[in-house]
Structure 1
Amino acid sequence: MTNQNVVVSDGKSSMKVAVAMAMSNTSLFSQAVPKPPTWSAGRFVRRKAVKKLESQGGPHKINAWVDSMRASSPAKSPPSSPEHDSWMVTHPSAMDMFDEIARSSKGKKIVMFLDYDGTLSPIVQDPDRAFMSEDMRAAVKAVARYFPTAIVSGRGKDKVHDFVKLKELYYAGSHGMDIEGPSNGNDDKSIVCQPASEFLPIINQVYNKLIQKTKFIEGAKVESNKFCLSVHFRCVDEKRWPELAEQVKQVLNDYPKLKMNYGRKVLEIKPTIKWDKGKALEFLLEALGFANSKDVLPIYIGDDRTDEDAFKVLRKRKQGFGILVSKLPKETSAAYTLQDPSEVKRFLQRLVEWKQVSQCGYYRS
């Protein structure tokens, strides 16, 4: 914990103290919180079997990878089933429960955390064209006017900044391994944290190798996110997923300091350090002065398996809410759900409206 490449501008003395506390807190690198019991058997029991297979080698491991690729890429249309209805009872709509969320924030400071892909922008075939709408940008800008707001994404920090185009936000790219705060007006950043900087040479080597290994697999795309890599297979014929998994496995066999996780039609390759979106959330809360505060209400909205790390942190803290963006039943530690980015936008707009009218003293829940 002595070299996390944290820089704080001289004008933010309170931020200095907060960052020092965060970087000296060994809990930031503690073991992940155990997964809570699943709400249903069926598909989630199968995921445990997949994880067991992943510990094996050879063809079994490739088959397990392909199974996990399928499991992380559900069908587009939600089923109409008792399973779905039951899931909605335990994970109700954040829109329907908005008044409850508002009441929970009484006397507290809301801090907003937002994933990007699938949350602020729709999932698209070409990841380079995952543009957010102007209405969504306006909604995020309005939220940031009232609450500290951070974008926490697997994307590279600079890339997601180019998509969002709002200077007043905190950006945590590379699954939280590249954090930067708003400019203080002198082109300096209030906070910079890069706990995985020593892995840059390895990441670049693996990126170049994956480009060569996957270039003959039509539809495969390798994206560099600075401190992590994404291998997109959304446009790859499913029959070629085993081939793609084999190529990625061959490369990673030579790099034991890297690990792979599954996202929505994407393989995420990251350093093995104990740092994720949950650690980024903890770090930012500490940097903002809310390390042990009872007067803060973090709200994290995300759609991906990597966002579960942040949802788990909020459950462990018994503070704030995780909101999963999904139309399909999923195993999740989130308290509430929203169906898609359009509902995320409406939730953000309603949050702003609530803040505006409550300041005038006439909001009615």
Structure 2
Amino acid sequence: MPHLLQPSGEDALAAVLRRSPLLAFDFDGTLTPIVATPDQARISQAVSGKLQRLASRLPVAIVTGRRVDDVRPRLGFQPHFVVGNHGAEMDEADVAQAAGALQEVRGELERREVELTRAGIMVEDKGLSLALHYRLSRRPDEALALIREVLRPAQPRCRTFSGKMVENVVPADAPDKALAVHRLVAHCNVSCAIFVGDDVNDEPVFASAPRDWLTIRVGRAPDSRAGYFLDSTAEVGLLLDRMLVHLGQPG
């Protein structure tokens, strides 16, 4: 997987931008660094300003694991689309279908609340998904084992997947980020997309993207299906600069 900010990546970026693509970005770990607790995350003014300028030229989407009403105030600009809960929170039909699917898991988490808290696990209920964070645990391996034990009875009614010091739970039939991005491409009537993400829940987009899309993973991951990578969220800012240059809007 080559680095995007080199000649071949620059050529690929320019080629896709000439086709007026959808620009889709994950939030945590992509537009903002991973932080100790979810509430601390914000996009910098510099990055939000670049995204606003891009949104004046092309459709821009934020596709995140957060709730839509949680992420909007953290952006500092107005994208055309915000998709939350790992792709599940996209339209009213998705919300209505999944609303009560996690009740059994919630009940088990409530029964074992004391045990989870003692292990340094924080439960984040996002309505259409649950996130069990263990970044602050003193024994992260033991915390992860406990989380998986607690969640095991919910399968196969629910789908679980790992992230950066977090285990996520969604209804088994909930839309994922890949479905969300493909829907947005069709909705915008564009031929391709640029998608930037950094974590396990972004891999379905990378894996399902047609060859003429541009997919970018933030952080080196040898087994990723992304076409290119960037080393850090700081380099995402450089990517936005390059996009603006190719669109004739240098800073």
Indicate whether the TM-score tops 0.5. yes
- Secondary structure of the equivalent of 2:226? coil
Equivalent position of 2:223 in the other structure = 331
Equivalent position of 2:101 in the other structure = 202
Counterpart amino acid of residue 206 in structure 2: F
State the alpha-carbon separation in 2 of the partners of residues 219 and 250 from structure 1. Answer: 14
State the alpha-carbon separation in 2 of the partners of residues 103 and 116 from structure 1. Answer: 23
Equivalent position of 1:260 in the other structure = 160
Distance 1:254 1:331, change over 3 A: closer
Deviation at 1:345, TM superposition (A): 0.9
Runs of 5+ consecutive residues of structure 2 not aligned to the other structure:
none
TM-score (normalizing by structure 2): 0.88
Equivalent position of 2:202 in the other structure = 307
| Residue from 108, 117, 121 that aligns with 2:19 | 108
Runs of 5+ consecutive residues of structure 1 not aligned to the other structure:
1-90, 180-191, 291-295, 359-365
State the alpha-carbon separation in 2 of the partners of residues 354 and 243 from structure 1. Answer: 46
Larger radius of gyration: 1
State the alpha-carbon separation in 2 of the partners of residues 106 and 129 from structure 1. Answer: 32
Deviation at 1:310, TM superposition (A): 0.5
For these two proteins, the number of residue pairs brought into alignment is: 247
Equivalent position of 1:231 in the other structure = 132
Deviation at 1:357, TM superposition (A): 5.5
| Residue from 167, 172, 179 that aligns with 1:279 | 179
Equivalent position of 2:211 in the other structure = 318
Counterpart amino acid of residue 208 in structure 2: V
Deviation at 1:141, TM superposition (A): 1.1
Counterpart amino acid of residue 242 in structure 2: R
Distance 1:246 1:347, change over 3 A: same
| Residue from 289, 298, 303 that aligns with 2:189 | 289
Equivalent position of 2:84 in the other structure = 173
Deviation at 1:247, TM superposition (A): 5.0
Distance 1:193 1:165, change over 3 A: farther
State the alpha-carbon separation in 2 of the partners of residues 143 and 357 from structure 1. Answer: 9
1:122-201 matches, cutoff 5 A: 122-179=33-90, 192-201=91-100
Deviations 1:99-149 (A, max 9, x none): 312442375112101000000010111111112211111121111111101
Give the aligned CA root-mean-square deviation in angstroms.
2.3
State the alpha-carbon separation in 2 of the partners of residues 257 and 128 from structure 1. Answer: 29
Distance 1:254 1:265, change over 3 A: closer
- Secondary structure of the equivalent of 2:118? coil
Counterpart amino acid of residue 220 in structure 1: I
- Secondary structure of the equivalent of 1:105? helix
Deviations 1:336-359 (A, max 9, x none): 11111110011112211220269x
- Secondary structure of the equivalent of 2:206? helix
